[in-house]
Structure 1
Amino acid sequence: MTNQVEQAALLLALRESELGWADVTRVVEESGSALTSLDTLLTPEQPTLDHVTVDPADQLDAVVHEIKAWAEEGIRLVTVLDEDYPVQLMMVHQRPPFLTYRGFLDPADQNGVAVVGSRNASSRGLHITREIATMLTQNGITVLSGLAAGVDSAAHRAVLDAGGRTVAVVGTGLRTCYPSANAELHEEIQRTGAVLSQFWPDAGPAKHHFPMRNAVMSGCSVATVVVEAGEHSGTRIQARLALEHGRHVFLLPEVVTGTTWGQDMAARPNTTVLESPDQLLRVLDDLGTDVPDLINF
């Protein structure tokens, strides 16, 4: 586990470096230390708009205090250099350099399954969602979803009602609840699970955030179940990313018959058209969920 100074160094590098996040993450991972990388990523003194130079050491202290302020609000931080960074997510190239979360992380989440679908789900779709989420919970499997209306909310609620663990991967910072109607659900999830974000705590909803959120949700899961989705649904992004990540995708028959992308995806390897919830467990058992040892940075 890195200390707050190392974590602050990574956040400072992300804020101040002219490199993109992926490049900053690469430099930090290669050195194994955000502090060691800081000299590479920052000039000795950063001029402000008022032409006043700011010592990076002072900047680092300010970020340390900011992380402590987050913690006082119940917002925790984990970086790619921390041992408790999600193991499955570490194996995908879209892994974000840091995550913030409310609640707690659990190593068992590495075997979690994402259940996603339409915001405007039908009553049958919501029923199937609850059935799948409850069955996964009863078998000790963490259920991940995106805290959106419709299928996502139904999945989270079913897990909570069944006394299980669910993780919400959100497309905003943790000081924002989107949609606001899910504020109570947001609070309930963090008591026994986690609400996870790759964005700064003050970040609001933005269109480009949600595909990024889908990449993290897929990366954290061993498989993704798509219950309902339209032709242009954002859910198709997660299904595509899951296959790119080498994760299994389960499609409900309605998704296959109702969309061209579902038809195309159903014919691809690593995809199952799900005829019953029990089939989901059988395929998961066949796949196995052992996670290979990773190189320690």
Structure 2
Amino acid sequence: MSRVIDDEALALVALLRHTEARKSWRAVVTEVREAGALEVLHRQNPQTLLDSDPVALLLKAARQDLHAWSDLARVLTLFDDDFPPQLLEVHDVPPLLFARGHLAARGEAELGACIVGSRKASPEAVRIAREVANSLVSMGVAVVSGLAEGIDTAAHQAALAAGGRTVAVIGTGIDQVYPAANRQLQQRIEREGLVLSQFWPGSGPTKASFPMRNATMSAYGMCTLIVAAGEHSGARIQARQAVAHGRPLILTRDVASTTEWGRDLAGSAYDVQVVSDADGAVEAIRAVLKRPRQLDELLADLVQ
């Protein structure tokens, strides 16, 4: 990193550490994207004649944090060239990420689709998740999920078994495992795919962390497929986040017919499609992947 970028990264970490009790991370991101992290840090911590430089002390602590974290994972701030560009498109972009595994090419958005659903899914729902994951691998598309039990686990495992790429967006610190039963799966994804966390190392699962994780996962993928979910399932949060992010949302007919939120979304004017089976889900995802190419062709026609 250049010195300017390095200073901004340090200032961002200092802001997040210093202000998180008083201000949401989203508010911090809004400020630093407008004025720069170092400028905001100086505004919030003005130096007086009697005090030592508070900003210098905060930057020193941030440097110590980053040094310690570097032994655990790759640390990316939203100022870094390697930060996933698709996350910068949404209003709730995580200000920093901890990564283990293989990042997408610098400056390029991962070609990936999210497959999520209930932790206690039926055998039929698990079969659909596996079939869709297998198809995505054959299409050269990464399988993105949240490493939870049930549908998430089935999608990750199927992608790995097919020799494809899978990305796990987790709701704990990068050095934590949840659920414990997925320890070996998480370690394998770290070796062969990519594990991402937006939470401080050492952070365990909380009621707030999983909705935040779902927002990041929704933004990371080009679209979201919800295979199975209940009325109060965490998958409904990702469904609403996908709509808020302007990402296409695909629901199985079971989800669209048995949940109130599924019926509401299926009947809305948003970019929501209902499918009956794995083949329908794959075709819906394939259509989403064609959209950028179709837009490029349209723009090319307009400039001719």
State the TM-score, normalized to the length of structure 2.
0.86
Structure 1 residues 30-88: Cα deviation after superposition (integer angstroms, max 9, x where no partner): 23x4333321132438xxxxxx9784323322321221222122x11111111222111
Asked if 1 retains the 8 angstrom alpha-carbon contact of 2:223 and 2:285, the reply is no
CA apart distance, 1:164:
1.2
Secondary structure of the residue that 1:143 maps to in structure 2? Answer: strand
Give the letter for the 1:199 counterpart.
F
CA distance in 2, matches of 1:83, 1:146: 24
Mapping of residues 96-135 of structure 1, within 5 Å: 96-107=94-105, 109-135=109-135
Unaligned runs of 5+ in 2: 297-304
2:93 corresponds to? 95
Asked if 1 retains the 8 angstrom alpha-carbon contact of 2:74 and 2:99, the reply is yes
CA apart distance, 1:278:
3.8
CA apart distance, 1:4:
4.4
1:34 corresponds to? 37
CA apart distance, 1:264:
1.7
Structure 1 residues 123-176: Cα deviation after superposition (integer angstroms, max 9, x where no partner): 111111010011111111111100100000111111111111111111111121
CA distance in 2, matches of 1:44, 1:114: 47
1:44 corresponds to? 47
Flag the 1:281–1:208 CA change in 2: closer, same or farther, 3 A: closer
1:295 corresponds to? none
2:57 corresponds to? 58
Identical aligned residues as a percent: 43
1:152 corresponds to? 152
Flag the 1:186–1:289 CA change in 2: closer, same or farther, 3 A: farther
Asked if 2 retains the 8 angstrom alpha-carbon contact of 1:28 and 1:37, the reply is yes
CA distance in 2, matches of 1:185, 1:148: 11
1:49 corresponds to? none
Flag the 1:43–1:177 CA change in 2: closer, same or farther, 3 A: farther
Flag the 1:281–1:24 CA change in 2: closer, same or farther, 3 A: closer
Give the letter for the 2:198 counterpart.
Q
CA distance in 2, matches of 1:137, 1:162: 7
- Over the aligned positions, Cα root-mean-square deviation in angstroms equals 2.3
**How many residues are paired up?**
285
2:246 corresponds to? 246
2:186 corresponds to? 186
Asked if 2 retains the 8 angstrom alpha-carbon contact of 1:103 and 1:194, the reply is yes
Secondary structure of the residue that 2:168 maps to in structure 1? Answer: strand
State the TM-score, normalized to the length of structure 1.
0.88
Asked if 2 retains the 8 angstrom alpha-carbon contact of 1:29 and 1:80, the reply is no
Asked if 1 retains the 8 angstrom alpha-carbon contact of 2:45 and 2:54, the reply is no
Flag the 1:27–1:287 CA change in 2: closer, same or farther, 3 A: same
CA distance in 2, matches of 1:6, 1:291: 35
1:204 corresponds to? 204
Asked if 2 retains the 8 angstrom alpha-carbon contact of 1:5 and 1:64, the reply is no
CA distance in 2, matches of 1:290, 1:59: 48
CA distance in 1, matches of 2:181, 2:225: 24
Asked if 1 retains the 8 angstrom alpha-carbon contact of 2:137 and 2:159, the reply is yes
Give the letter for the 2:17 counterpart.
R
CA distance in 1, matches of 2:245, 2:23: 25
CA distance in 2, matches of 1:182, 1:44: 48
Flag the 1:81–1:285 CA change in 2: closer, same or farther, 3 A: closer
CA apart distance, 1:283:
2.2
Secondary structure of the residue that 1:72 maps to in structure 2? Answer: coil
